Structure 1
Amino acid sequence: MTSQFFVVGDVHGKYSLLTDILAKWQPESQQLVFVGDLVDRGDDSKFCLELVCRLVREEGAVCLMGNHEWMFLRYLDDPVERYGHYQRNGGNTTINSLLGRALDAPVDPVADAASILEQYAELISQIRSFPYLYETEDYFFVHAGLDLSLADVRETPDYDKIWLRQPFHQGINKTGKCIVFGHTPTKYLFNSPVMTSQLWQTADRKIGIDGGAVYGGVLHGVVLDRQGVREDHIVGLINSYTVVDD
């Protein structure tokens, strides 16, 4: 029976970091949660998607919808109109990874979307089923944030759950639950000129866990229980280590 959560930050195609952080996960006692953004910008989006989707199917993991999964699906559904936006946000790396090409290979938006839909029908169907919010007795897990001005934050539009930044970061969490999110690298939450390996934690119980792994930062694997953060496993350009909160 799981008594803790193991929550993984934004991966963005960094497959080697993903496998390193998953080596810290204890499946017998920890519910595995991904906050989204498995794809784009990094080297191995295909392997990241396939591994996480298998963990969802076979191990009961939860993977939230991130804005990059959302952009990927919108591109596949309308490659003519949506490719430009997806390309500007690192989408070519995912398209080429899935089609087995060099990451900088030329992309034919329409033909490549058709090929991906044909070759990865089951995978795409599973990505479409990713939830936008995962709620437990003590936590809300969401990719980007929640509209804290609402009487019921669950009513936050799905679009906002994957795109929110400052209104959520600066708002006051009155939900009675801790909100765990990714999307915005903690460097920016701390207004730091350099990447940081620290979690962003606030007095009103918000925890930002995007360590900016694809930008030379770190990937977090955060262990939570009812009391809050118990451990923070960190992998990246620095040596792997764990921070333990007693």
Structure 2
Amino acid sequence: MKRTLVISDIHGCYQEFNQLLSKVNYNSKEDQLVLLGDYTDRGPKSKEVLEQVMLLVETLGVLALRGNHDQMLVDAVCNGQDSRFLRNGGMTTLESFCGWEWFAGNYSFDRYVEAKEYVAEHYSEHLDFLNGLPYYYEDDKHIYVHAGIDPTCEDWKQTALKDFLWIREPFFKNPTGLSKKVVFGHTPTIYLQETADIFFDEDKIAIDGGCCFGNQLNCLEITKDAYYTHYVPSNLK
């Protein structure tokens, strides 16, 4: 592979995702595409994004990791863990799967439960896909993960599963002590610096441009000798 291309936190921003793939001239025969999770919630087309990711993984060898929003969807639909899902854009995801006319102004809890039942019945393959995604990936020079690792672990792979999906300050405010750089999403880079561009630290690279919040969708291009950054602006202004 000549390039590794890394994108994170698509959050239902289907149009921007495809614009970005086109902008970087993604070629599955020459590039390794790595997606760091959070395919659903907040943006308008969670279903379309997820189905495209499933197809990319199945047909083109794309590596897709698990994000906390992906886990929340599974937990809400399959295990009744609703509160966190609803606080973090889950209703938009259900509308994407069930159709925008599903609620028709009736956002009662009963109608919400019916939406979850509809997703469980008609999209079990999608839920199984999300529930089977790995928490991390590594190559010769980088570790890829959705949120980060626990830098207090002697072996970073012993990081608690919830921390792979949710960790913030204990990870990005402390050195990892690793020889490999950690490439992560989850925390929008605008919280780490003054812009939504990709953030480079000595041992970490943050790539979440906050597209679902109206900022941008980033792609980190890794070659043998250098890093390059690409982005497309969000349509959610």
Q: Structure 1 residues 104 and 143, CA, compared in 2 at 3 Å: closer, same or farther? A: farther
Tell whether 2:172 aligns with 1:162: no
Partner of 2:233: 236
User: Which segments of 5 or more consecutive residues in structure 1 lack a partner in the other structure?
Assistant: 239-246
**Corresponding residue for residue 71 of structure 1:** 72
Find the aligned partners of 2:207 and 2:125 in 1 and give their Cα distance: 29
1:138–1:226: 8 Å Cα contact kept in structure 2?
Answer: no
Deviations 1:78-100 (A, max 9, x none): 23xx2222111110000110011
Say if 2:35 and 2:65, in contact at 8 Å, map to a contact too. Answer: yes
Name 2:213's counterpart in structure 1: 215
C-alpha RMSD of the superposition: 1.6
Matches for 1:33-182 after TM superposition, within 5 Å: 33-79=34-80, 82-102=81-101, 105=104, 106=107, 108-182=111-185
CA deviations 1:188-212 (Å, max 9, x no partner) are 011x3xxx24211112x20000000
Q: 1:19/1:187 Cα in 2 relative to 1: closer, same or farther (>3 Å)?
A: same
One-letter amino acid of the structure 2 residue matched with residue 209 of structure 1: I
Is contact 1:14-1:43 (8 Å) kept? yes
Give how far 1:109 is off. 3.1
Letter of the aligned partner of 2:84 in structure 1?
A: H
* Aligned partner of residue 9 in structure 2, secondary structure: coil
CA distance in 1, matches of 2:234, 2:11: 15
Percent identical among aligned pairs is 34
Provide the secondary structure at the position in 2 that maps to 1:77. helix
- Paired with 1:100 and 1:14, the residues of 2 have a C-alpha distance of 17
**SS, match of residue 141 in structure 1:** strand
**Alignment partners' CA distance in 2, 1:104 and 1:182:** 32
d(CA) in 1 for partners of 2:163, 2:234: 31
- Alpha carbons 2:47, 2:97 under 8 Å: kept: yes
Instruction: Name the residue aligned to 1:242.
Output: none
Structure 1 97/145 Cα, relative in aligned 2: closer, same or farther at 3 Å? same
Q: What residue is the counterpart of 1:241 in the other structure? A: none
C-alpha distance after superposition, 1:80-135 (max 9, x if no partner): xx222211111000011001124874362322222111111212111111111111
Calculate the TM-score normalised by the size of structure 2. Answer: 0.91
Range with greater deviation from structure 2 (110-119 or 34-43): 110-119
SS of corresponding position for 2:217: strand
Distance apart, 1:3 and its partner CA: 3.0
- Residues 96 and 237 of structure 1: is their aligned pair in 2 closer, same or farther, counting only changes over 3 Å? closer
Residue 37 and residue 104 in structure 1: after superposition, are their counterparts in 2 closer, same or farther (change >3 A)? farther
Q: Which letter does structure 2 place at the counterpart of 1:112?
A: A
Mapped to 2, the partners of 1:118 and 1:202 lie a distance apart of 44
Q: How many residues align?
A: 229
Q: Is the 8 A contact 1:92 1:103 kept in 2?
A: no
**TM-score under structure 1 length normalisation:** 0.88
Structure 2 residue runs without a partner (length 5+): none
Partner of 2:42: helix, strand, or coil?
coil
Q: What is the letter of the counterpart of residue 213 of structure 2?
A: Y
Partner letter of residue 134 of structure 1? Y
Runs of 4+ aligned residues of structure 1 deviating over 4 Å after TM superposition are 102-105
Tell me if the contact between 1:13 and 1:46 (Cα under 8 Å) persists in the aligned partners.
yes
For the 8 Å contact 2:78–2:120, the answer to whether it is kept is no
Deviations 1:131-165 (A, max 9, x none): 11111111100000001111110110110001000
Equivalent AA in structure 2 for residue 113 of structure 1: K
SS at 1:31 equivalent = strand
Whole-Å separation in 2 of the counterparts to 1:174 and 1:104: 49
